[in-house]
Structure 1
Amino acid sequence: MHAKLLIFSIIFGIIESATIGKLLQVPDKDPTLKALVYKEALPKANQKLHDTVYWVPATTQFSARRITVMNQGKLYSTWTYDMLLQRSDCSSRSTPLADLPGCKANTSSPKTLCSVHTSLFDNDLGSAESEVYCTKS
């Protein structure tokens, strides 16, 4: 059993090291990407947009890319992605940020494009630092 775990660890390490320093396309369904969008980027975008309702993704396509490097002996990734946002019916005064995934876009409202740059230690959302830039489209 230990031998299988050791072999798996070695293979995983080789695969992981082969991607370090390379810019990779990230699938839109990636769970870390979704967590970054809803827990990090959307709250910051909504702070910048100063509206009475939350702006939420109009689409689930983010065109995400990620590059990972070693920093202080840990994996550190920088993500870049775009969010096309629309107003929702969720009040920004009474809806908790944790409920953002349940807010649906009002398809007749105008759209805003936001570009996001997020850096964090892998598997540590608490270390995330983001910059969000939004423009009306």
Structure 2
Amino acid sequence: MEGFEFEIPNIEIPDIEIPDIEIPDIEIPDIEIGEMETAEIENPDMEFETEDRARRTNRNANRRVPQQVKGYRLVKVKDYIRCSVCTVTFCNFMFLGTSALICSLKAIHFKIRRDVSGGRIFGCCALTANIVAIIGTIICIIVFAVILVSE
């Protein structure tokens, strides 16, 4: 590789002028989560992105609001994740425990996306797969025990 030379070309980059953009001064109040209701009363024009849908539409204002975490509404969907993990660990008959775990994870995914109908469908599928896997495992244990005792 002797005699191999590589020249780096000189590239000139022209200076670009960046125009100054005026940013208006906006006062942003420091509001804690517990103070949201009082802030709405003091300044009704201020809107919060995380407020409950029932408050925005003024429908059913007297209904009981589900438990809230940081202003977001939680969706009640059963995902049966604990049962699925136990089924995969102890009763994985015909890989139904694995399918139950997959359905449970999909139910959690729909729960996070706030899709109640999809979450309930996959939650029901997970419950069914868990029950069939547990019953299938019990039947196999009984059959093998009867075969071993009869010999």
Q: Same fold (TM over 0.5)?
A: no
Q: Which has the higher contact order (CA 8 A, sep 6+)?
A: 1
**More strand, by proportion:** 1
Structure number with bigger Rg: 2
TM-score range, shorter chain: under 0.3
**More helix, by proportion:** 2
Q: TM-score, normalised by structure 1?
A: 0.24
